[in-house]
Amino acid sequence: MSGNHTEEPARLWGARFRSPPDPALMALSRSPTHHHRLIPYDITSSMAHARELERAGLLTAEECSTITVSLQGILADHAAGRIAPTEADEDIHTFVERVMTERLGPLGGKLRAGRSRNDQAANDLRLYLRDQARKLSALILDLQAALAAQAEAHLGTIAPGFTHLQPAQPILFAHQLLAHGQAFARDVARLQDWDRRFARSPLGAAALAGSAIAMHPELAAKELGYDLPTENSIDAVGNRDHVAEFLFAIAMHGVHLSRLSEEIVLWSSRQFKWIELDDAFATGSSIMPQKKNPDIAELTRGRSARLIGDLASMLVALKGLPLAYNRDMIEDKAAAFDAIDGLTLVLPAMTGLVRTMKVYVDTLLKQSTEGFTLATEVADWLSRRGVPFANAHEITGALVRLCEERGIGLEDVSAADLALVDPRLDISIKAALTPQAAVAARQGYGGTAPERVKEQLGRLRKLGAEQKTWCETYAGPRF
For 317-332, the DSSP string reads HHTTPPSS--GGGGHH
Within-domain flag for 44? yes
Average pLDDT taken over every residue of the chain? 95
Within-domain flag for 478? no
Within-domain flag for 460? no
Within-domain flag for 253? yes
Residues with catalytic roles: 164, 285
Say which amino acid occupies 444. Answer: G
pLDDT digits (tens, 9 = 90+) for 407-452: 999 999 999 999 999 999 999 999 999 999 999 999 999 999 999 9
Does residue 421 come out as left (phi exceeding 0), alpha (psi in the -120 to 50 range) or beta?
A: alpha
CB distance 56 to 213 below 8 Å: yes
Last residue of a domain, one of 411, 433, 455: 433
**Residue 231 DSSP SS3:** coil
pLDDT digits (tens, 9 = 90+) for 16-25: 788 888 888 8
Pairing of the two strands 158-163 and 166-172: antiparallel
Q: Are residues 380 and 351 part of one domain?
A: no
List the domain range (segments joined by +) for residue 392. 375-433
Q: Are residues 197 and 90 part of one domain?
A: no
Q: Are residues 130 and 24 part of one domain?
A: no
Last residue of a domain, one of 400, 416, 433: 433
Helix (H) or strand (E) holding 233: helix 233-238
Measure the CA–CA gap between 352 and 281, rounded to whole angstroms.
Answer: 7
Measure the CA–CA gap between 369 and 409, rounded to whole angstroms.
Answer: 8
Peptide bond into 324 cis (omega under 30): yes
DSSP secondary structure, 307-318, as one string: HHHHHHHHHHHH
**Residue 162 DSSP SS3:** strand
Q: Are residues 389 and 326 part of one domain?
A: no
CATH of the domain at 46: 1.10.275.10
Place 36 in a pLDDT band, splitting at 50, 70 and 90: very high
Residue 148 CB coordination number (10 Å): 22
Mention every residue, 6+ apart, whose C-beta is less than 8 A from residue 130.
195, 198, 199, 225, 474, 476
Place 31 in a pLDDT band, splitting at 50, 70 and 90: confident
> Total structural domains in the chain?
3
Place 8 in a pLDDT band, splitting at 50, 70 and 90: low
Q: Are residues 387 and 297 part of one domain?
A: no
Q: Are residues 185 and 148 part of one domain?
A: yes
Q: Are residues 299 and 217 part of one domain?
A: yes
Within-domain flag for 290? yes
CATH of the domain at 182: 1.20.200.10
Question: How far is Cα of residue 96 from the mean position of the Cα atoms in its chain?
Answer: 31
Within-domain flag for 383? yes
Within-domain flag for 236? yes
Q: Return the bridge partners of 276, or none.
A: 358
Within-domain flag for 182? yes
End-to-end CA gap in the chain: 43
